[in-house]
Amino acid sequence: MAVFRKVLEIFNFPICVNDNVIKVQDEEGFVSQPRNRWIVKVVLVLAVLAFVGVSMVPIIAAFNQTEPPTQNTTSNRGNLPSSDQKTKLQDEVRGYELVLQREPENQTALKGLLQARLQLLSQKQGDIQGVIEPLEKLAKLNPEQTEYAVLLAQAKQQIGDKEGAAQAYRTVLATKPGDVKALQGMVALLLDQQRPEAAVGLLQDTLSVAAQTNTAQPGSVDTIAVQVLLGSVHASQKRYPQALSAYDQAIKKDSKDFRPVLAKAMLLKQQGKATEAKPLFDTASALAPAQYKDEINKAATTAPTPTPAAITPAPEAKPTP
């Protein structure tokens, strides 16, 4: 799994094992919030997202970028002691709740309430349940913005409602079978439930209907992303031949896409096959966008990390899609 943690570092994608993040994207930016404990196998799925190039952020990692509704509010909070900030946030929550009593579908109030509760969570006030209610409403009001539904699913998984989480993912995939964020979340959930075969089946089914789906809705399924995700699920189960085969199929499908090339290179390197990995790293670097080249080259020369018996937390960072 160390190979996948390194990929996260390359793409500045947050990896979350003991610290996680709820992040919600609204018109202003992202809202994020820390909580404790996350499934170890999310490491795999987050790493795949780095390959996939999706700006999906897992629920639960470090509270590292908060942008409240107004700049004045941001400035005021930044200058307040933590106790005063907590009081101000609690006042904001009550204010948004009053607005929502009159206008239950006021999205500005829903986003503000969600944001304030997330910030309170950063001060160990409240719980995940408090963000589920506004997320449910936002997901219902914005069915095309699947990020809300995915975050809702992750929040439900966090409180132990795995069936509720699965249903939220299925709702997205029913209308958007190629939604990589929902696929990522569903795969994470299945791996958490020790159901790798179900995860593989889900991805294979997605690939089997990709051509038909893309005919109806061009570009709706990123087959390279799904193929790399499939390979990485195999790799998580130490099925290295199947993983390499999945990467090879993705490379064959689009030889100009650096993602499967890098995935294969890092897996080979992690297996101690540095000689085989080197030309793949070179190819990935040549194909990758400029902002990734230095880190790919660094990964190619860094000594591989031995696979640990237990996964330990890795650094967090903000992704660059």
Stretch 44-62: mean pLDDT: 37
d(CA 285, CA 292): 8
User: Tell me: the pLDDT tens digits for 106-139?
Assistant: 999 999 998 888 888 877 888 888 889 999 999 9
Does residue 152 register a pLDDT over 60?
yes
- Quote the pLDDT of residue 265: 93
| pLDDT band at 286; cut points 50, 70, 90 | very high
d(CA 296, CA 269): 13
Residue 267, domain member (yes or no): no
Residue 114, domain member (yes or no): yes
User: Tell me: the pLDDT tens digits for 154-196?
Assistant: 889 888 999 999 999 999 999 899 998 899 899 989 998 999 9
The number of folded domains in the chain is: 1
- Quote the pLDDT of residue 306: 53
Total length of the chain: 321
d(CA 209, CA 215): 10
| pLDDT band at 25; cut points 50, 70, 90 | very low
Residue 127, domain member (yes or no): yes
Tokens 């307040």 -> residue: 80
Distances in Å between the Cα of 257 and the Cα atoms of 56, 72, 151, 260 are 20, 44, 28, 7
Residue 228, domain member (yes or no): no
- Quote the pLDDT of residue 119: 85
Does residue 276 register a pLDDT over 60?
yes
Other CB atoms closer than 10 Å to residue 246's CB: what's the count? 28
| β-strand partners of 36 | 19
- Quote the pLDDT of residue 29: 39
Residue 283, domain member (yes or no): no
Residue 69, domain member (yes or no): yes
- Strand 60-61 and strand 19-25: pairing? antiparallel
Average pLDDT value over all residues in the chain = 75
- The CATH number of the domain where 11 resides is what? 1.25.40.10
> Long-range contacts for 27-30 (Cβ within 8 Å, ≥24 apart)?
28/67, 28/68, 28/69, 29/65, 29/67, 30/57, 30/65, 30/66, 30/67
| Angle (nearest 5°) at CA 188 between 299 and 154 | 115
- Quote the pLDDT of residue 96: 94
- Quote the pLDDT of residue 32: 37
Phi, psi of 196 (to 5 degrees): -60, -30
- Quote the pLDDT of residue 304: 66
- Quote the pLDDT of residue 291: 87
**Ranges 140-149, 152-161, 191-200, 307-316: which has the least confidence:** 307-316
Which residues span the domain enclosing 15? 2-219
- Quote the pLDDT of residue 174: 92
Q: By percentage, how much of the chain surpasses pLDDT 90?
A: 47
Are the C-beta atoms of 305 and 43 separated by less than 8 Å?
A: no
Tokens 């390499």 -> residue: 244
> Which residues, in sequence order, are CB contacts of 78 under 8 Å at separation 6+?
none
- Quote the pLDDT of residue 11: 37
Does residue 47 register a pLDDT over 70?
no
Q: What residue spans of 53-128 are helical by DSSP H? A: 71-78, 82-102, 107-122
Distances in Å between the Cα of 297 and the Cα atoms of 50, 94, 158, 265 are 16, 51, 36, 11
What pTM was computed for the model? 0.67
Residue 276, domain member (yes or no): no
Q: By percentage, how much of the chain surpasses pLDDT 70?
A: 69
Residue 173, domain member (yes or no): yes
